[in-house]
Amino acid sequence: MPRNAAAATTPKQAADYGGLSAEQLVEFYRYMYLSRRIDDREILLKRQQKIFFQISCAGHEALQVAAGFALKPGYDWFVPYYRDRAISLVLGQTAEDQLLQAVGAATDPQSGGRQMPSHWTSKKLHIVSPSSATATQCLHAVGIAEAGRYFSNHPEAAAKVDGDYRQFKDVVFYNDEVAYTSIGEGSTSQGEFWEALNTASNNKLPVLFLVEDNGYAISTPVECNTPGGNISHLVANFPNFFFAEIDGTDAVASYRALAEAVAWCRSGKGPALVHGHVIRPYSHSLSDDERLYRTAAELEADALRDPISKMQAFLIQEGILDQEGVAALEKVVDEEVQRAADAALAAPLPSGDSILVHQYSEDLDPRSPAFATEPRQTDASERTMADLINLCLHDEMRHDERIVVFGEDVADASREDGLRSGELKGKGGVFKLTYGLQKAFGGDRCFNSPLAEANIVGRGIGMAVRGLKPVVEIQFFDYIWPAVHQMRNELSVMRWRSNGAYSAPMVIRCPIGGYLTGGSIYHSQSGESIFTHTPGVRVVMPSNALDANGLLRTAIRCDDPVLFLEHKRLYREAYGRASNPGPDYMVPFGKAKIVKPGKHLTVVTYGAVVPRSLQAVQKLEREKGISVEVIDLRSLSPYDWEAIAESVRKTNRVLVAHEDMISWGYGAEIAARIADELFHDLDAPVRRVAGMDTFVAYQPVLEDIILPQPEKIYAAMKDLVEF
């Protein structure tokens, strides 16, 4: 019980309060009031221009404190959204922690001044760094729950995880944890919310979804956002769920429902969804003025349901506290918030030197010599790129029990009876690159996902946060776009935005490119520059079997998110076949390969344009006696600028060739940097050869014109040497 809180002498039994004692109810109110007073202090600081943004938890306090009381900090996992101030306080954050984020202090324990206020994060408390994006976090909670279940079944994998897991040898630690995630009612319109419900329901995962329904998505009222105006009615038919719809301004009702929901999840029966009707007494944020779209009568009705005044009246009515006790409690909290604000305003601001810290892993740099190993030939037979990718996946899954592989159609067969009986051979991916993984390692290590790309990447982020190493597949690059939200706003920035507290080192394998004869618009796309423009993600694209094997192993063993682009045309080409280099062969990122030395002209390229460039070079050398150096970048982000610069200084002429569209393409950056930094070494303008600024057509005659062919590369090289 807080100091100076005068309690009644004859409180009711805890059973009358949903299992909460009188002392707990006082503490319950203290957290509610603390949350509200931090909101009020931030509003004051914003008006004084001492902080730069404010969004409040006001009106949600009772529901959130109830969730915090029902769950276990540092044991359960929490993937909150930006209104979850009160639950974060219950879990163990302090007023000073939260106000440090408001001012953007260097000592902000959540992000070091990188995230705006209300992005609660704590490694110790298992509060996972959230973003401002809506609903993306629901899939992370699903992945976190999946990882917990995986560790309970694979203690050998848990033993390999850094951090918390090393101290827990008892598998029971993982058996009944709950993954909590919260969401505003407006955000339930997002696809990731429904994808998360789908997987949690199908897999009976212990995920607690808390819908905090204050009736508005900024200015859009619930009836315009949700059919029928009630999300509970829409989700009611999901199997395996516990559902509750409650008055989220009622502390006892909220706790009773959430305690039941948590018990359901812990029992292994499946997920739970609690829909709490709360209020929003303040505007959406201080950047919004709700008086423009809400009537005075509506605001007055909300004020009558304010959980702070309701809880205060309840404590007095029940004889748990008297007026003097309430005043004493509030005075202590007010002083606490004042001290926290003073400390936050006096805290140092971050320096410019900190900007790039934690953008990538500082502990395991995939560019380092540690990832440069020599091939160890185990047999003389030459294998395709597809073969050596498949072999690498087998080797790495044997090497590290934390690796799980999933995506659309990647399993041999989801219905395993046919595999065990031998009746089914198994699929193993549309290109057969994951063939045999399920049979070798089991259906909990290689499995099919729903046909939903955001689901694949979002769940993978949650798994990676927990310490698994997901290697997921997006079936075709052309269908990666639903996952881009997860990749750009979540995966790439997890380490940076949490100031190194969390990371999500996963591998996204993705077939890419055209030259397929009939691939057309939706099976021939490139677009790698979109992802090389995203800090925090490594992007690689091998052109041959040996590099594919070594780069994939580096991708899996490094500690950064990696987009691993596999050109479909090269999977089974005669070009670039190689023997098995052994289970430890690695190629470092950011190291190009000189696939053909030369002295008169440099060609910088990658992917399927490498063999096409070599064809053009052979013709040019045969006909004109020109010596051409061909650089295969292999790694696009990071890329090997030193190799490019050294070659251009030697040849004084350079052609950049790639498959994607020429305008705003990957080659534009390389060409611009050469012109900027190597201008005095050039004897001719920098030239580019690339695809036309359009999509790939179905008819081969058109495809041949749209994509760069050896003839076009030959003509560009000839023009350059004749300049």
The angle at the Cα of 690, spanning 687 to 692, to the nearest 5 degrees, equals 125
Helix (H, G, I), strand (E, B) or coil at 509: strand
Token couple for 625: 């006696």
Distances (CA, A) of 37 to 115, 290, 643: 21, 21, 58
Region at 546 (left for phi over 0; alpha for psi -120 to 50; beta for the rest): alpha
Burial of 223 (0-12, 13-18, 19+ CB in 10 A): exposed
Span between the terminal Cα atoms of the chain, in Å: 85
Q: Phi-psi bin for 527: left (phi > 0), alpha (psi -120 to 50), beta?
A: left
C-alpha to C-alpha distance for 446 and 273, rounded to whole angstroms: 28
Please work out, in degrees rounded to the nearest 5, the angle formed at the alpha carbon of residue 367 by the alpha carbons of 507 and 537: 35
| DSSP summary character for residue 206 | -
Assign 3-state DSSP to the chain and report helix, strand, coil percentages, each to 5: 45, 15, 40
Q: Which residues contact 622 (CB under 8 A, 6 or more apart)?
A: none
Count of alpha carbons within 13 Å of 475, Cβ hemisphere only? 19
Distance CA(260)–CA(246), nearest Å, equals: 13
Q: Which of 119, 485, 523, 600 is catalytic?
A: 523
* CA distances from residue 675 to 149, 563, 635, 646, 681 in whole angstroms, order as listed: 54, 28, 21, 14, 9
Rounded distance between C-alpha atoms, residue 524 and residue 567, angstroms: 10
> What is the spatial distance between Cα 402 and Cα 441, in angstroms, rounded to a whole number?
12
How many other CB atoms sit within 10 Å of the CB of residue 31?
A: 21
119 is catalytic: no
Question: Which residues are marked as active site?
Answer: 523
